[in-house]
Structure 1
Amino acid sequence: MATIEDVAKLAGLSRTTVSRVINDQPYVTEEKKKRIIHAMKDLGYVPNSSARRLRSQRTETIAVLLPRVTNPFFGHLIESLEKEASKSGYQVIVCQTHDKKQKEIDYLQLLKTKQVDGIVMASLTNDWEDVEPYLTSGPIVLCNEYMPINGVSMIHIDHRQAAYESTVHLIHQGCKHLAYASGGHKTYLASERKAGFLVALAEYDLPFEMGMEIDWALDVSDGQKVFQFLKENHPHVDGIFTGSDEVAAGIIYAASQSNWTIPNDLAVIGFDNQMLSLLMVPAVTTVEQPIEEMAAKTVEVLVRKMSDKRSCQNSCFIYPYQLIIRDSTKRHSVSSSAQL
């Protein structure tokens, strides 16, 4: 196995010069760099990255905290973050919290123990005052999740406005008895979505009927249970904002098994524009987030902070979303003149 001494000998340079090139240090001419790189290729020499990271006191690793990777939104986000991070020489580790406060704190300890250089939080389970102290150990950036605080950079869409626009769309389709389904996690993002939903109802003088909020729906299976619950307890429901394409798909499937017509009996809106939303029959009306753009900005901000904490101001980047209207809400019997 080739050593750094072998590289130095073949290049006709000192071991110190070779070490400078390997560790990307200054004061080495381009001509010498080329000789060293050529010698490394000829010998098949691979630098010890662990030792290099130890010397620089950097891990070249980013941790991404999220609830569950099986959610296609987070899977897409992880893929996008990893691609962007690799461009800057960083690797990504995925930390699933399963919405458990202690697991989230345990992963934040990776920053305190210098096992990662920075953290992306795509979800937030603890109160911010329990997370904030970890900022003294390294940079943290919020992506997707957000809250009205200072001292941290956030990248997200306007979830309140997205929920409001989605709900108004249901109302314009003639829906008057609207249900609201969420995962029940008491985060700022979740509260913003619900606020947007309620603002739309109030604007059109529609009540939020007791029992029409479901706060335990996370996936397709839960979506099926949501439909059964509404069918048995609120059969007059005619529209639902789910905040999840998976839940929307489950509702649509269960409704079809009960001979309910989507959207005329029940109009359904999802969230995130997952592939599942397009494959369902009928296809699901949904809100699309610009995941690639958000991931690119997240990595850009985090890398800047990891390189020089003093040079990077904390900022909030709000990206545009798109309400994609498909057949799960298109009530062909509702004319524009009949809209509220």
Structure 2
Amino acid sequence: MEKPTIAHVAQVAGVSPSTVSRILNGTARVTPQKQAAVHRAIAQLGYQPNVIAQGLARGRSMSVGVLVQDISSPFFGSILHGIEKALQGSPYQPVFIDGHWRADQEDAAISVLMGRQVDALIIVGGTVSDVRLREIAAHLPLILLGRKAEGLERRTLRVNHRQGAYLAMRHLIDLGHTRIAHITGDETHPDARDRLDGYLAALEDARIPFDPRLLVHGDFHEASGQHCAEALLESGQRFSAIFVGNDQMAYGVQLALYRHGLRVPDDVSLVGFDDQPFSAYTVPPLTTVRQPTTEMGLAAGHAVLKLLEGEDFVFPDLEVRLMLRDSTARLQR
């Protein structure tokens, strides 16, 4: 069966092909009756407009570039799922690219996306300079997720990482723990710095002296969690709990503790951050701070669609939440 074309739609609707094209592009000035006739013909024939061709006719690629730092990470994967879901049903398709946590690769990735003439950009995390981001925002709809940029506050969506860390620490302190180690994420990342701030604030509010020997710097990956836990154990420092900067590192910490014959939570209580999908299925299930990652991606996707249509938007209030599982227990004195 021959695939219906604009010419077929025009014939059935009793209008010219150019009128059909303008109606599909949203540029036609015709009577409501003619518009209705065209839409009836489209439905009758099962005509599928070529969205890409329509976009090119309007000078658009109908694509949204999305830069993340690690596509393989479940954390970023959940955000990407939310962005993809937000764009479903719109004419726009996401184009995903990885920055690999390196400024030079992030710049190269942005150049690739702009070379593909994407209509908008969503940048998740990363270390691209504020100056560069402002340059991009001056020419392209831009949404930032999980990072800060001076002058782009209204286009930035972040959750309260400091509050999340504070919740995790208050939980451990309420269980009687005072010797609480902290394994940070990448220090160049604002999320890691905010979580460290929450750790320190909770200690201060509980009048527990900060011991810098219980602070170890990781990089958000499983191997660094294992390495940092090994360093803590080999240092001989006494601790009964560890607040870890993200769940991926917490998995590595669990392995290190297991290899040293320490049980979670009987010997060491453990709290992570992010609530990644695997965290409910570790042994024991991990107590962690839930970041609403899918909702974050949805909000970013909806915001970029608003920008593309020249409309204003307000980000929703997204809150972190402590997910209590079996990796924490009251301190046994």
Establish whether TM, by shorter chain, passes 0.5.
yes
The equivalent residue for 1:65 is: 67
1:274 to 268, 273, 276: 276
Measure, in 1, the Cα distance between the counterparts of 2:324 and 2:151. Answer: 33
Name the SS of the counterpart of 1:300 in structure 2: helix
Q: Deviations over 1:198-256 (max 9, x none)?
A: 12222333344344333234233333223222221245232211121121122123322
Q: CA deviation at 1:319?
A: 1.8
Give 1:101 shift: 0.7
Instruction: Please name the residue that 2:254 is paired with.
Output: 252
| Counterpart code for 2:190 | Y
**Residues in 1 aligned to 2:263 and 2:113: alpha-carbon distance in whole angstroms:** 51
**What is the match of residue 283 of structure 1?**
285
Letter in 2 for 1:257: R
Residue identity matched to 1:119: L
Please say if residues 217 and 226 of structure 1, whose CA atoms lie closer than 8 Å, have aligned partners that are also in contact: no
CA distance in 1, matches of 2:153, 2:248: 34
Match of residue 131 from structure 1 = 133
Task: Measure, in 2, the Cα distance between the counterparts of 1:98 and 1:276.
Answer: 22
TM-score under structure 1 length normalisation: 0.86
Query: Which residue in the other structure is 2:156 paired with?
Result: 154
Check whether the contact 2:134–2:152 (CA below 8 A) recurs between aligned residues: no
Contact kept? 1:212, 1:234, Cα under 8 Å: no
Matched, 1:177 2:179: yes
Following superposition, the deviation at residue 25 of structure 1 comes to: 3.2
Corresponding residue SS for 2:330: coil
State the alpha-carbon separation in 1 of the partners of residues 102 and 13 from structure 2. 54
Preserved contact between residue 275 and residue 288 of structure 2 (Cα < 8 Å): yes
Quote the Cα distance in structure 2 between the aligned partners of 1:248 and 1:31: 63
Percent identity at matched positions?
Answer: 29
SS in 1 for 2:122: strand
C-alpha RMSD of matched pairs (Å): 2.6
1:14 to 1:148, Cα distance in 2 relative to 1, 3 A: closer
SS in 2 for 1:330: coil
- Tell me by how many angstroms 1:161 deviates: 1.2
Using the alignment, how far apart are the partners of 2:270 and 2:204 within structure 1? Answer: 20
Q: Does 1:94 align with 2:96?
A: yes
Q: Is the 8 A contact 1:80 1:292 kept in 2?
A: yes
Once the two structures are overlaid, the 10-residue window that deviates more, 73-82 or 137-146, is 137-146
* CA displacement, residues 98-155 of structure 1 (integer Å, 9 cap, x when unaligned): 1111222223335655711111122021231232211111121122323565454222
- TM-superposed CA distance for 1:38, in Å, is 5.1
The whole-number CA distance in structure 1 between the counterparts of 2:132 and 2:17 is 48
- Aligned-partner Cα distance in 2 for 1:69–1:104: 13
The structural deviation recorded for 1:68 is 0.5
1:44 Cα deviation (Å)? 5.8
Aligned-partner SS, 1:87: coil
Query: 1:141 pairs with 143, 157, 167, which one?
Result: 143
**Offset at 1:16?**
1.5
- Residue matched to 2:24: 22
Uncovered stretches (5+) of structure 1, i.e. residues with no partner: 335-340
Which stretch of the first structure deviates more once superposed, 29-38 or 322-331?
29-38
Amino acid at match of 2:162: R
Q: Which residue of structure 2 aligns with residue 115 of structure 1?
A: 117
Q: 1:301 to 1:324 in 2, by over 3 A?
A: same
Match in the other structure for 1:328: 327
* CA distance in structure 1 between the partners assigned to 2:154 and 2:95 by the alignment: 21
1:5-84 equivalences under 5 Å are 5-29=7-31, 31-37=33-39, 39-40=41-42, 45-84=47-86
> What residue in structure 2 maps to residue 85 of structure 1?
87
Displacement after TM superposition at 1:40 (Å): 4.5
Contact residue 112 and residue 137 of structure 1 kept, 8 A = no
Q: After superposing the two structures, state which structure 1 stretch, 150-159 or 120-129, moved more.
A: 150-159
Q: Distance in 2 between matches of 1:8 and 1:159?
A: 56
Deviation at 1:318, TM superposition (A): 4.2
| Contact residue 111 and residue 117 of structure 1 kept, 8 A | no
CA distance in 2, matches of 1:230, 1:304: 48
Q: Which amino acid aligns with 1:59?
A: S
Counterpart in 1 of 2:307? 305
How far, CA to CA, are the matches of 1:246 and 1:87 in structure 2?
A: 33
Partners of 1:43 and 1:203 in 2: CA distance: 69
Three-state SS of the structure 2 residue aligned to 1:271 is strand
Separation in structure 2 between the aligned mates of residue 301 and residue 112 of structure 1, nearest angstrom:
19
**Is 1:167 the counterpart of 2:136 in the alignment?**
no
TM-score by length of 2: 0.88
Partners of 1:185 and 1:95 in 2: CA distance: 23
> Which string of whole-angstrom CA distances, capped at 9 and with x for unpartnered residues, describes residues 280-318 of structure 1?
12111111122343333322322222221xx537x6654
Select which of 175, 179, 194 maps to 1:192: 194
Conservation of the 8 A alpha-carbon contact between 1:140 and 1:152: no
CA contact (8 A) 2:290 2:322 kept: yes
**What is the rounded CA distance, in whole Å, between the counterparts of 2:202 and 2:40 in structure 1?**
65
